[in-house]
Every structure is written in C-alpha cells, then in structure tokens.
C-alpha cells in the first residue's frame, strides 16, 4: 500500500486558505484535516475541535513539554501547533493528511518531513489581499496595517515551498491542488514497491 501524502497548505493572511481547504476536503474522500491547537480566541462561527482546538497558554505549554506537536509557533501574539496524534496512523493507512498552517510552522515541518507536499497560496493581487483582510470585519485600523504588512513579508517566503497556486477563484485553486497531489502520487520515489513487484515477478 502506498503511504498517504502529508499535504501542507500555507499562505499570507487573507489569501483564503480556509475556504480553499474546506472545498478540497469536501471534494476529496481520502484527505483528512489535521486540526491545529491555538491559544487565540475563537472567531464567530468557529467551534472547538472543528476549526481548532482552543486551549489556554498553560495547556499549550504543557503539550510542548509532553512533545505532542509536530510543530508549533507564535504568530501575532498567539501560539499555534500541529498535534502529532493520529497523523502517522492515517498516513500509514494510505490516507492523506492536510495541514493548514502558518508559514513559520510549515518551515519547521519541512525540516522534519521533507517527504511532505508543500503548497503556497497567493492572492491574485495586493489590492485583492487588502479587500479580503478588510472583509473580515474584525480588524481595527491599527491591526489591519500590521496584518497587511506582515502578509506582504510572508508572500516572499513562499519561494521556499515546492508549489505555488494563485487563489483567483476557489474552484480553480482547488483543481490545481488536486492536480499537484495526483502528480505527487505518481512520483517514482513514492512507488518503488511497484518496480520491486514487477522485477520479482520476472525473477
């Protein structure tokens, strides 16, 4: 059985990562979402254990001490982390695991899991990025300026990823990601057992 893909999707704030990932999950039966833990407060409509595990700073630090994270980072004054629990189990069953994490966390995962598939989402333009951040309606003018400046800095970091997808429309972005994953499953280094099986049959 081919091992599942560890799929990491990141992008600057306001790029639409959440919307793209939700549609990808809805259209893909064998991709499972790895829920991150965070110390930030839930936004409207978010539920503990669905979008995130919402924990206190003390709880988060206890998880760090117990080595329960694949990666963790501090972003905008809050902690975010990817719990290891069940990730390897799903991968070994041939199931893909999706991590929607910030850039700092993704760079840490790259060091530990170079076999992962790393995809960076870009906005179609900086003007559209501004509109998307403002569209949340949850940013004060001061917070908006800080988040937009951080977003432009984060975009440059996307060059360290393997793939880049422009999120012009959600449907188009998801189709591109599906194509990337299909190509990854056909890589020789993920299918060495096929050669061994054929050579064994000949011998």
| Whether pLDDT at 138 is above 70 | no
How high is the mean pLDDT of the chain? 89
Question: Quick check: 63 and 37 in contact, CB under 8 A?
Answer: yes
Cα–Cα distance for residue pair 145/126, rounded to 1 Å? 13
Kindly list the distances between the CA atom of residue 136 and the CA atoms of 44, 46, 112, 165, 198, in Å, as whole numbers in the listed order.
10, 14, 34, 22, 54
Around Cβ 92, how many Cβ atoms within 10 Å? 11
The pTM (predicted TM-score) of the whole model is 0.82
* pLDDT at residue 105, as a whole number: 86
Cα–Cα distance for residue pair 121/114, rounded to 1 Å? 19
Name the pLDDT band for 13 (thresholds 50, 70, 90): confident
């Amino acid at each position: 059985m081919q091992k599942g893909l560890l799929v990491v999707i990141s992008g600057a704030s306001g790029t639409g990562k959440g919307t793209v990932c939700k549609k990808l999950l809805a259209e893909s039966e064998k991709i499972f979402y790895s829920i991150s833990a965070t110390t930030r407060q839930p936004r409207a409509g978010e539920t503990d254990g669905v979008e995130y595990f919402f924990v206190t700073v003390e709880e988060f630090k206890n998880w760090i001490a117990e080595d329960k994270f694949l990666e963790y980072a501090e972003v905008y004054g809050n902690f975010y982390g990817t719990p290891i629990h069940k990730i390897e189990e799903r991968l070994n069953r041939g199931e893909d695991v999706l991590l929607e994490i910030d850039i700092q966390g993704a760079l840490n995962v790259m060091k530990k899991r170079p076999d992962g598939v790393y995809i960076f989402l870009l906005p179609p333009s900086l003007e559209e990025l501004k509109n998307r951040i403002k569209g949340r309606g949850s940013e004060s003018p001061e917070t908006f300026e800080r988040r937009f400046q951080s977003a432009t800095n984060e975009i440059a970091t996307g060059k360290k990823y393997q793939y880049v997808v422009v999120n012009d429309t959600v449907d188009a972005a998801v189709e591109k990601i599906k194509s990337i994953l299909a190509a990854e499953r056909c890589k020789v280094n993920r299918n060495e057992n096929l050669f061994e099986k054929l050579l064994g049959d000949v011998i």
